[in-house]
Amino acid sequence: MQVQVKLFAAARDIVGQGEVSLQLTEGSTVGDLMEHFFTRYPQLKAMAGSLLLAVNREFAERTVKLQEGDEVGVIPPVSGGGHV
Amino acid sequence: MFEVTEKPLSVAEAVSAVSKRTCGALATFTGVVREFSRGKQVSYLEYEAYPEMAIAKMRQIEQEIRDKWEIEQILIHHRIGHLEIGEASVVIAVSAPHRRQALEACAYAIERLKQIVPVWKKEVSSDGSFWIGMGS
């Protein structure tokens, strides 16, 4: 099955592109997809603990199973914080 | 009422968009680009969004607010792209029959926006550029 991955901010800088189309085996989870990126991009793995993931624009756990045509968002911590 | 845009934001337009004759209160919040951040002088900011999800999360914030307070209308506009110091990055406007609802809902909206709306800023200063994350 094919899924569309969208990467933003620091995650996009590390991977070098904002949108990637990936072919995955049936039954793959969000976590499996992230492992694909982590093995290729160690810098992304270094920020794994702070990354949020979204499936079809809704925040999703890494155990969620992906379906053909899903859109996965790789979301570093969003902007702002204590000072704003 | 919800927008992610590269165009400059207008507080006046936001206020007029949420105004209603039944409302006794209008509260607004404006986030602006600050010259100093974490001890560094900022040259400018680059904002980036996941626009479709940002709009969906803004709608979620509206729903959360309507579950808690009696408000009339809420508007959230977030700017993306290149922003200079002093420019508005986000404008929130809330109208309500009474001031307490308007003020509390407006404060809630900006706090939730920081938590769940996927927008990022890159601070560009003389010694490089940095993506700014939550809690920084």
CATH number where A52 lies: 3.10.20.30
**Pairing status of strand B73-79 against strand B2-5:** parallel
Nearest to B133 among A6, A54, A77 (CB): A77
Q: Nearest to residue A78, comparing CAs of A62, A54, A46, A42? A: A54
Cβ–Cβ below 8 Å for A80 and B134: yes
B52 to chain A, closest Cα gap in Å: 7
Q: Which two tokens stand for residue B93?
A: 């406007």
Cβ–Cβ below 8 Å for B121 and A8: no
**Residue A25 forms part of a structural domain:** yes
Instruction: Tell me whether A79 touches chain B (CB under 8 Å).
Output: yes
Domain that holds residue A28: 2-75
Domain B2-126 = CATH 3.90.1170.40: yes
Amino acid identity for residue A70 in this structure: D
Residue numbers of A between 38 and 77 with CB closer than 8 Å to B: 50, 54, 57-59, 73, 75-77
**Residue A49 forms part of a structural domain:** yes
* ipTM of the prediction: 0.85
Residue entry with tokens 């409302």 = B23
Per the structure, the count of domains in chain A is 1
**Residue A17 forms part of a structural domain:** yes
Instruction: Answer positive or negative: Cα dihedral of A9, A11, A12, A14.
Output: positive
Evaluate if residue B9 carries a pLDDT over 90: yes
- Domain positions in chain B: 2-126
Q: Assess contact for B77 and B90: CB atoms under 8 A.
A: yes
Evaluate if residue B77 carries a pLDDT over 80: yes
Each residue's pLDDT tens digit, A51-67: 999 999 999 999 999 99
What is the percent of chain B with per-residue pLDDT over 90, rounded to a whole number?
78
Residue entry with tokens 């922003």 = B83
Query: What value does the mean pLDDT take over residues B121-125?
Result: 86
B118 to chain A, closest Cα gap in Å: 6
**Residue A82 forms part of a structural domain:** no
